Structure 1
Amino acid sequence: MHTRAPVVVGRDEELRVLDRVLADAGVHRGGAVFLVGEPGIGKTRLARFAAGAAFDRGMRVLRGRGSTIGPIVPFRPLAEALMSLLRAGDGLDLRELGPYQPALGRLAPEWSPDGGPEEPRPAHSVLVLAEAVLRLLALVGRTQPSLVVLEDLHDADAETLAVVDYLVDNLDQAPAALLVTTRADPGPALDVIRSAAQRQAGVLMELRRLDERQVSRMVALCLEAEDHEVPAEVVRRLWADSAGNPFVVEEMVHGLVNGGLLVRGPAGWQVLGELRIDVPSALVRSIAHRTDRLGPQGREVLSVAAVLGHRFPLSVLRRVTGLDDRALLSHLHAGVAAQLVTPDEPVPDWYAFRHPLTAEALLAQIPPPHRAELARRTADAVQRLHPELPGEWCALVASLRLDAGQTAEAGALLAEAGRRALADGAAGSAVRLLDHAHRLLASEVDVAVRADVLDSLLPALAEAGQFERAFALVDAVTELAAAGLGRVRRAELHTKLAQVANTAGRWTDGMAHVETARALLGADATDEHTARLDAVAAFLTLNLEVPDRIASAEFLARRAADAAKRVPLPEVGCETWQLLGVLARERDLDEAAECFSRARALADEHGLPIQRAYAVIRQAGLDWLAEGKAVELAEAREEALLIGAVSVAYNVDAILGLDAVLRGQYAAAAERLPRVIADTRRLQLRNLTLYGLMARATAAAHQGRRAEMDAAIEEFDEVGGVGSQERPLCFGLARAFCALLEEDRVTAGHDLARAIAYEAETPTVYHLSGRHGLLLLLEAVSGALDLDGYLAVTRSSAARMRWNRVFAQFALAVLLGRLGREAEAAQAVRAAREAAAIHPLARHLGLRLVAEAAVADGWGEPVAWLRGAEEYFHQAGQAAVASACRGLLRQVGASVPQRRTGSDQVPRELRALGVTVREFEVFRLLAGRLGNKAIATRLHISPRTVEKHVASLITKTAQPDRESLSAFAASLGPADRP
């Protein structure tokens, strides 16, 4: 008799919820369930039921546990769950995951594109990995929905919890369900679960203890009897002493039966002698009794297993105990028969205790000296089996050394495990490991070892965003100095602090650490020190408000690049040459291209795929800015996809979205940009989200959709766009163009002035906000710019970027025409139109403005230019500009296209009221609360005519007055059009 209940008792509501969630996953309405409760309350039992129910539904079951052989092993539960896909051998084509496939290599090296761990994998954020897992589940779900069971997450690493948090928020349209079990102990896991439940991203079920009736039913099931066949005194005592904990109930029933206190008789079960049950000592005694029956060797085997943890591998047990396979398996099979251990289902040649309390009870029986000796022997055995301590073994041996009292060894291993976690992108785990090592080694005499731990802890804290904790470690550096740490090593730590400050945006503090490091190094500075210090100083200087910051940053970056070449430090070289390329972009496009080419060559030479991807995209981006070429960008995107550089790929997607806008391909932009914005927002790639929102605002602005533009810019500000490099573009590339399409040059001028002011506050690397393009044309037309001023601005290579070149050449044409140099002006117009061949809005808006100047100054072909512009803007539904073109044509006596029949431009509801095309042109401008004179100027009609149209509109729309009519006009957006 196994004295285990064969069915789940007292969990009817939980079973209904689990069944519903599994059913929803089958129809792509994924969800999450969290089972929370004390040890032994039945979480694992319910998880097994859910797995069985999912299997019966034809679902794939993926299982992993947080309780592992060592502490703080990043992603272990996820890796264990997903590895079953490899063992199943279903031949999933992971190439369909695109750039997300390499991220999965952190969970299973076999999933890397190269098929193994030999090549270095690119560092991915935890959110990228979480998105990769989500997409993998979607891929698996094409043939089978899945249930992912992650058990015992109370001790899980921060990265696993981050992935879980991400999944529960994004499973709603996935063919997968997630089941998480954890203890009710306060901690990060419970915080994540409660937060998810509060935002209704999952169902939280806190398992309660069984009541007396349920305990009675459970005891009967354990004894394979009917309820009335179990003595009432046994039920009452078990319910009282177990406190309704199902595991404890089963253990006590087992103890009563095995101890001969509860026996089956002719009339059913009966008690022999006095009923004695003590809890929790009864549990300990029950397990001790069962282990005693296994003999000394069997007890030793399970003691070593308990030292390892809830789960344990046979290889280590074999090495520590010295038993051969036959003897070892014999003892383990006896443990299985005694219901103490069980084969671990997901992993071959591993076993696990049936319940964590079993391992804890075994440990409680081992005297501390013997436990320390077992920990030492086990650590030695693991290191002999796995000399390099790959993966989880490093953290395990660190834990064992700590239990053995070997503090220095434990600290060194924790530090190594932390460095590995940081290299793998698990910053949260890295901080915990390295911080523990830092505290353990605080009293070590060897200050060099402590300095090495600090050297790794500082960047880990920066990656985890714990900047204040990182800066607080300045005191630790001071203590090391007092303990005799050399000047050079202290300088290296201050360099790390400067890098942390740069990441945190604390430029002044960062420069202070740079100066401290330089002073400490003095004449002892090597090329490696110079390269690292100058590189971080260059980035810090670029953000300081000093007059010569661009020149100073460039000087430092060049010196860093030269030193990095001599050492060599290829990563520093790639970083600085790319910075030099960005700095050179405004001055000399060819020089910028050369810098990016050098960065790419370095990355190729030293096998740095991520640095190469960034160099390629920057070169392609430069070609796009210079000549509007998008082919190289698309190729750079494909290269990024191949190595899993997700952020690089999204960077290209965002640029291609803006490219579509500037080419007038608004449908393509409308398809690409929302996806970019949603994905980058989910992955917390804030800068790319801002770029996407700026591009969406520009798309709306270039179509004259002010309400949509304003909404996009409002969202841009909410995401954190204030102070970003994209903010000037929101005014110079979006708002100013929207104002020009409304024929409101005053507002356009104000928007451009704000763009330039923002650009001065936060230097941009985009150079498309108008200073080198659109502003030149508007100032040339208004007479605020002369040829000398034009030449001063256009000396910058930014004016030769294709988008800017369109307006710069149009501006030159206006200036030359005004000086009577008609042939040169005509050539400038031809050059502008050639540059604008791929930018229809820029071409026709430029022609409309140049034609106005040409009419005034008597040169060029303004009639032809205006006819082309009028046709374009009429077809685009930009009534104000089309009307202005017709007004200018009337002014020069040219025939004007009759557009009054174009009632399709008038919204349906206004057409039904009898509003004419001309009245609608006035109506649209009323939305801006403009006066009659301003409207007349824009439409090139008389103020008296405007007054008549306004009066007619008030009557037709049944508005009480002009103010109400203006509000009504403002309420109609692009969506109200036919």
Structure 2
Amino acid sequence: MRTTSSITVGRAAETSLLSSALAASRQRSGRAVFLLGEAGIGKSRLAGECAFQAYGLGLPVLRGRGSSTGTVTPFRPLIEALSSRFRASGTPSDPELDPYRPALARLVPEWRGEAAAAAGAGAYPETVVELAEALLRLLAVLGREHGCVLLLEDLHDTDAETVAVLEYLIDNLAGLPVLLVGTLRAEPGPALDLVRAAERRRAAAVAELRPLPPADVRAMAAAVLEAETAEVPAAVLDQLVERADGSPYLVEELLADMLASEALRREDGRWQVIGGLGTGVPSTIVRSWGRRIDQLDPQVRELLLTAATLGSRFSVATVQLITGYDDRTLFSNLRSASEANVIVPDGAAPDRYAFRHTLTADAVTAALAPAERAAVARRAARAIIRADPELMDERRQLVASLLLASGDRAGAAVHFAEAGRRVLEAGAAGSAVVLLERAHELAGDAERAAVTERLLLALAESGQLDRAFELVRTLPPVHADPAAGRSDAVDRRIHLHTRLAWVAVMVERITEAVPQIAAARALSGTRPRPEQDAALAVVEGHLALFPDQSQGGTDGRGRLVETERRARRAAEVAERAGLPVVACQAWQLLALLARERGFDAADACLERMLAVAEGHALPVWRVEALLRLGANAFMRTGDGARLERAREAAAGLGAIVLTQTVDGLLAMNAVLRGEWRTGREIIDRCLDATARLRNLSAHRYLLLTSATLAAHLGRGREMERELARFRQAGGEESLLMPLRYGLCRAVGALLAEDRAGARAELAAGLAWEEEHPSVFYLAGRHGLHPLLEVTDGAWERADFEKAAAAPAAELAWNRQFLGFADAVLLGREGRRDDAARAVEEARAAAGPFPLAHHLALRLTAEAALADGWGDPVSWLRTAEEYFHDTEIQPVAGACRALLRRAGASVAQHRGGRDQIPARLRACGVTLREYEVFVMLADRPGNQQIARNLSISPRTVEKHMANLLGKTGRPDRAALCELAAELDTRG
């Protein structure tokens, strides 16, 4: 008979917790719940009860579990969970998931073809955090209507990548219709550390399952026997309470043993004890399983012993590989084992079986003598190697585990090391660390150094830099043999130090990068190999851009010249040596350095980088090149179309981090173009995601962009709040400081009519750039600063010409300011007509940037009034109108004050004034005058206009005179023609 309980006994608090979490997820209040306890305590039973409730409420349930075979397969529980859903319902087709499909293809096999097609010959190695963000979006879509449940069991056996994904999910479920339920044993390891940390910061609820109390043990026994508690013999209940230790699994197994031995039988409708029940301890379960296995057919016994050696879950194909059974024999034996209630089909994967419980597999192997267990493991390992010498997928790890179980530590180390290498190449650095640590522990002295080097690379790639830099100091020294030349060991060590230095530079850990470069240089000697010197030169070049590594004044500039020379040589060497990644790194560095000479030179470097990336199928570097080409195109023209295309390429690749970088640039572009709503939408959409992804550079840039947006709207307090957030994120230690001084604080000061404050901010930015190499060219040095210096009378023509000769002067944002500055100088020099033409040319260049355009008009008009040239009244009216509409009152007030000083009328901003065409508003036409003007399109007389507007003919005459003066029309007929031309009535 069945010996499992059909109901969940006890666990009222845990069941209530899960029920309330389910209800919360349906209200878009996602959370994580973990069930913690020893094997057999009832975690899976509760998880199944939760899944049953979810199904009843119409919630999708995605169910997976960790590996129990000892193999490390990145993301295995997540892949199983998604497969369990999509096998039955198909993959979702929601358009909002399109940017995330390439990343999710790693978890969803059905999308792998799409991802490969999108990436071309290459593939984007998405980070674990990018993948976690993509999974979060997918779960939100699946749970959009009713909520959804992600149920992951046996997390103590899971891989490092899954743990990293879970950490991200736990911290970001709030506000989403997702319930995460996980089960695990209280065994030391990354999963338990994760759960405990989440519990401490109240990001997850943890229910620790304790042994069932005696009353619940008795109730469970009655449920298994389908009887009332009073109908179960007292001796049976006492034995279960004493021997099961409150474990539901042991309750069921002890009852099964009693039934199998016929010590407990149902006779005459009653349960009766026949003979004695025995007084053994729970270890009798082992002997019980041994007896059951011995009673089976020899082939079934061999199959089960082999399967138990592989773990509590096993692949049918692997068992067949080891046993050599044909299909008919194999499935006949599997059916017999299943009928004996030893194994069950694994619902998560159709080609796998599982022992009825984890402890069942343990009991089966424990029934064997140690020598027999080792022999079974050794025989299984040899069979797998013989059948599959390449040992693809998980088989190499499986062989390593079997060899270790057989006592062959050296053989196990070799296979763990190779498995770690393969997993690292596949981009799963966290899992590679686990495998290589096993190899490191098992390796002999002769092999340990090579394993350590590979482990160091895995640690660096997985972001565990502290451990990497600590471990690298333990490496034994290597020396070249002068007679034989450079050894492979020395070359590997140089590569290792170079790679560690690159990773350190990319995450801005400069103090760790420097000694790694020094170590690589020391091993390279005075005559390094060209390709090694190229890789090191690229790292050193990027390092030179950081503030703490640059030198102020002439020496610092000279250092950058030398850096550029070495980077160019590195690019050439890397291309000849077939090192495309190093070549791309070098061309990227050269593009940054070449901006000093002009953006044509920078774009030429980026075009070469793009060609190398496309020629060698490096999709990440291709998008990097497109991104920088798009940024340069915007700076040169003000047009963001190419940057938008770069974003499409990044999103199509599934490169979430790169997409966020482009989004930051697009947000700043929107701010400069006065597209406030677009800028705010991008910032709000991306800011939290960059924080979740720990994309620090993009996060800082978006915070600074948010502060710049506030500054450009004249909201000083909001700007200071955003700059405080920027500072808290480490922004003041970043390369973004010139933008903080120029684009943000200086413009904010000008909009507060604090000219001295703006000049002080720009001066601080210039001082910072003198001490540190800057790659930002819109921060003021080449545009706004020259305009302020000229309008305030601090610069003469020679100073201006020097600034205008810089390559950055050709950038659209800078070009507009320089055009107005030139006009002011021309007017001051008495060349009035040239000055007026210069203003019109500057206004045309300023078209994409309305705020900068009108701010420059306000500054230029003041100078024109003082020097008596141009049309300052019209310019001031245009600027006043703009700043009034954008509610930047200090500048609008300053424009009105200058108009009064010029003796011009000042517009009254009454309701309905926005109906007046901008052309007429710029002339100072009032709302009442415009009402008269509109009627002129039909050429009526003054009397008719007076009757229609209920005003006196004398008032009409006054408005007509004002209109003629303000529009510059010679007579009434010309004014009527203009009214007909601008007629907006229908």
Q: TM-score range by the shorter chain?
A: 0.7 to 0.9
Distance 1:192 1:673 in 2: 30
Equivalent residue, structure 1, for 2:869: 859
Asked if the contact 1:777/1:810 (under 8 Å) is kept, the reply is yes
Equivalent residue, structure 1, for 2:800: 790
Counting only pairs closer than 5 Å after superposition, residues 176-187 of structure 1 correspond to structure 2 as 176-187=178-189
Q: CA, structure 1 residues 465+675, in 2 after alignment: closer, same or farther (shift >3 Å)?
A: same
> 3-state DSSP class of the match of 2:875?
helix
Q: Does 1:545 align with 2:547?
A: no
C-alpha displacement of 1:786:
2.5
Q: Does 1:93 align with 2:103?
A: no
> 3-state DSSP class of the match of 2:277?
coil
Distance 2:408 2:427 in 1: 29
Q: Does 1:40 align with 2:65?
A: no
Distance 1:147 1:382 in 2: 38
TM-score (norm 2): 0.87
Q: Does 1:717 align with 2:727?
A: yes
Provide the aligned length of Structure 1 versus Structure 2.
900
Distance 1:752 1:885 in 2: 23
Equivalent residue, structure 1, for 2:60: 60
Equivalent residue, structure 2, for 1:594: 604
Distance 1:670 1:516 in 2: 47
1:332 is aligned, of 300, 321, 334, to: 334
Asked if the contact 2:478/2:490 (under 8 Å) is kept, the reply is no
Q: CA, structure 1 residues 858+159, in 2 after alignment: closer, same or farther (shift >3 Å)?
A: same
Structure 2: unaligned runs, 5 residues or longer: 482-486, 915-986
Q: Does 1:748 align with 2:758?
A: yes
Asked if the contact 2:32/2:205 (under 8 Å) is kept, the reply is yes
Counting only pairs closer than 5 Å after superposition, residues 36-435 of structure 1 correspond to structure 2 as 36-88=36-88, 90-93=90-93, 96-112=96-112, 114=114, 119-142=121-144, 145-266=147-268, 268-435=270-437
TM-score (norm 1): 0.87
Q: Does 1:577 align with 2:587?
A: yes
Distance 1:94 1:866 in 2: 51
Q: CA, structure 1 residues 504+692, in 2 after alignment: closer, same or farther (shift >3 Å)?
A: closer
Asked if the contact 1:73/1:395 (under 8 Å) is kept, the reply is no
Q: Does 1:492 align with 2:502?
A: no
Q: Does 1:532 align with 2:549?
A: no
Equivalent residue, structure 2, for 1:941: none
Distance 2:666 2:566 in 1: 33
C-alpha displacement of 1:266:
3.7
Equivalent residue, structure 2, for 1:616: 626
Asked if the contact 1:126/1:162 (under 8 Å) is kept, the reply is yes
Amino acid at match of 2:698: L
Distance 1:64 1:585 in 2: 52
Q: CA, structure 1 residues 857+648, in 2 after alignment: closer, same or farther (shift >3 Å)?
A: same
2:742 is aligned, of 720, 732, 739, to: 732
Distance 1:876 1:677 in 2: 25
Equivalent residue, structure 1, for 2:459: 461
Moved more, 316-325 or 689-698: 316-325
Distance 1:261 1:833 in 2: 100
Asked if the contact 1:74/1:429 (under 8 Å) is kept, the reply is yes
Distance 1:428 1:266 in 2: 61
Q: CA, structure 1 residues 440+679, in 2 after alignment: closer, same or farther (shift >3 Å)?
A: same
> 3-state DSSP class of the match of 1:561?
helix
Counting only pairs closer than 5 Å after superposition, residues 926-945 of structure 1 correspond to structure 2 as none
Distance 1:195 1:489 in 2: 38
Distance 1:617 1:231 in 2: 77
Distance 2:386 2:830 in 1: 90
Distance 1:612 1:759 in 2: 30
Structure 1: unaligned runs, 5 residues or longer: 905-978
Q: CA RMSD in A?
A: 2.6
1:691 is aligned, of 692, 701, 709, to: 701
Q: Does 1:560 align with 2:565?
A: no
Equivalent residue, structure 1, for 2:967: none
Equivalent residue, structure 2, for 1:470: 468
Asked if the contact 1:836/1:843 (under 8 Å) is kept, the reply is yes
Cα offsets for 1:383-415 (capped at 9, x unmatched)? 455444343333222222322333344323323
Q: CA, structure 1 residues 477+30, in 2 after alignment: closer, same or farther (shift >3 Å)?
A: closer
Q: CA, structure 1 residues 760+230, in 2 after alignment: closer, same or farther (shift >3 Å)?
A: farther
Amino acid at match of 2:760: H
Amino acid at match of 1:766: F
Equivalent residue, structure 2, for 1:650: 660
Amino acid at match of 2:458: A
C-alpha displacement of 1:614:
1.0
Equivalent residue, structure 1, for 2:826: 816
Distance 2:116 2:625 in 1: 26
> 3-state DSSP class of the match of 1:410?
helix
Distance 2:156 2:491 in 1: 42
Q: CA, structure 1 residues 366+553, in 2 after alignment: closer, same or farther (shift >3 Å)?
A: farther
C-alpha displacement of 1:138:
2.6
Q: CA, structure 1 residues 78+386, in 2 after alignment: closer, same or farther (shift >3 Å)?
A: farther
Cα offsets for 1:572-602 (capped at 9, x unmatched)? 1122112211211232110011111111111
Moved more, 528-537 or 623-632: 528-537
Q: Does 1:517 align with 2:520?
A: yes
Amino acid at match of 1:397: V
Asked if the contact 1:110/1:116 (under 8 Å) is kept, the reply is no
Moved more, 860-869 or 350-359: 860-869
Moved more, 830-839 or 625-634: 830-839
Distance 1:690 1:618 in 2: 18
Distance 2:115 2:492 in 1: 39
Distance 2:791 2:912 in 1: 31
Q: Does 1:873 align with 2:883?
A: yes
C-alpha displacement of 1:898:
4.1
Distance 1:516 1:623 in 2: 40
Distance 1:712 1:757 in 2: 23
Q: CA, structure 1 residues 345+772, in 2 after alignment: closer, same or farther (shift >3 Å)?
A: same
Cα offsets for 1:301-326 (capped at 9, x unmatched)? 21211111111112221222233333
Amino acid at match of 1:93: S
1:886 is aligned, of 891, 896, 902, to: 896
Cα offsets for 1:663-701 (capped at 9, x unmatched)? 112122222211121221222211111111111111111
> 3-state DSSP class of the match of 1:837?
coil
Distance 2:773 2:762 in 1: 15
C-alpha displacement of 1:658:
1.4
Amino acid at match of 1:472: E
C-alpha displacement of 1:76:
0.6
C-alpha displacement of 1:899:
5.3
Cα offsets for 1:882-930 (capped at 9, x unmatched)? 22112222223333334599999xxxxxxxxxxxxxxxxxxxxxxxxxx
Cα offsets for 1:76-123 (capped at 9, x unmatched)? 100111122442252522654122111112223431353669954211
Amino acid at match of 2:742: G
C-alpha displacement of 1:840:
1.0
> 3-state DSSP class of the match of 2:906?
coil
C-alpha displacement of 1:615:
0.5
Amino acid at match of 1:294: L
Q: CA, structure 1 residues 321+112, in 2 after alignment: closer, same or farther (shift >3 Å)?
A: closer
Moved more, 276-285 or 384-393: 384-393
Amino acid at match of 1:253: L
Q: CA, structure 1 residues 776+523, in 2 after alignment: closer, same or farther (shift >3 Å)?
A: closer
Distance 1:529 1:633 in 2: 34
C-alpha displacement of 1:358:
1.4
Equivalent residue, structure 2, for 1:962: none
> 3-state DSSP class of the match of 1:35?
strand
